[in-house]
Amino acid sequence: MNWQKCQKCGSDRIATVSSKCNDLCTVTIKEKESDTYVPEDMGIGGGSYTEFDYCLDCGQIKGEFPLKITELENKETVDKEDVDTSEFKVGGMYLKTKHGKIDSTN
Ligand SMILES: [Zn+2]
């Protein structure tokens, strides 16, 4: 049997991980978060499966690195201040709240 070897240190202590998580995969890069299926462009599988091989000696994940800028890194960050805005109707008037302050919209 031809065991695979680590591309970095040549060790044959390679662990193969395969996990079916469907859309329960959370990946974060700095302030950006993906909370759905496994990203296809990160060398950790993709879609419903998290799959990768890594070296138990040096920690290297098998694959070709560096990876291209990933979709997640290119994702627009959602401005939390905008998310914080909510609208509701009180006494026939629409009101908007922002950071707890109430502004009348008209
Ligand atoms: Zn290694």
Among the listed residues 29, 25, 53, the one whose alpha carbon sits nearest the alpha carbon of residue 38 = 25
- Output the CA 63–ligand 1 centroid distance in Å: 12
Looking at the fold, whether 87 and 68 belong to one and the same domain comes out as: no
- Output the CA 2–ligand 1 centroid distance in Å: 17
Looking at the fold, whether 49 and 30 belong to one and the same domain comes out as: yes
2 within some domain:
no
User: Number of folded domains in the chain?
Assistant: 2
Looking at the fold, whether 54 and 83 belong to one and the same domain comes out as: no
Taking 90 as the threshold, does the pLDDT of residue 98 lie above it?
no
Looking at the fold, whether 17 and 54 belong to one and the same domain comes out as: yes
What whole-number distance in Å separates Cα of residue 104 and Cα of residue 106?
6
- Output the CA 51–ligand 1 centroid distance in Å: 17
Q: Identify whether 39 is preceded by a cis peptide bond (ω within 30 of 0).
A: no
Residues with CB under 5 A from ligand 1 (ion): 6, 8-9, 11, 55, 57-58, 60
pTM: 0.68
101 within some domain:
yes
pLDDT one-digit tens code per residue, 29-67: 999 999 999 999 999 999 999 999 999 999 999 999 999
97 within some domain:
yes
Residues spanned by the domain of 21: 12-75
